Amino acid sequence: MPPNGFLHYSDRIKDLIIASGYNIAPADVESVIRQHPGVQDVTVVGWPSTYRGETVKAFVVSHPAAREALSGGDIIDFCRARIAPFKAPTLVEFLPELPRNVMGKTPRRLLRTRAGQD
């Protein structure tokens, strides 16, 4: 913690997920999901929810050996055992690969527009 006692958010504020009044940094959730042995890559976005305002949705690329065995429930249970329940994803979508821009980053906006919400 800095000497002044204030914590500073270091991710893009636009990517912040606000679910039931809780602020959730996508990077926090992604770091936990990446620890799962069946996950090759992941990106987390805020997804519209009638109940929570937004909910956490994970776009996951699984390792080729784990493609058939890995389910969304496995990812959700893995997260709930390691982070606060409100941070755990409620939706998981598996993709063959994540889209990348020229810088090699996954544009979260592109994933959100897949459902026409941005």
pLDDT digits 0-9 by tens, 69-94: 899 999 999 999 999 999 999 999 99
What confidence category does residue 4 fall into, taking pLDDT thresholds of 50, 70 and 90?
confident
Helix and strand numbers, DSSP H then E, in the chain: 3, 5
Mean predicted confidence (pLDDT) in 61-70: 88
Yes or no: domain 13-98 corresponds to CATH 3.40.50.2300:
no
Q: pLDDT, tens digit, for every residue of 8-59? A: 555 566 778 888 888 999 999 999 999 999 999 999 999 998 988 899 999 9
Alpha carbon distance 43, 91 (integer Å)? 12
- pTM value surpassing 0.95: no
> How do beta strands 53-62 and 91-94 pair?
parallel
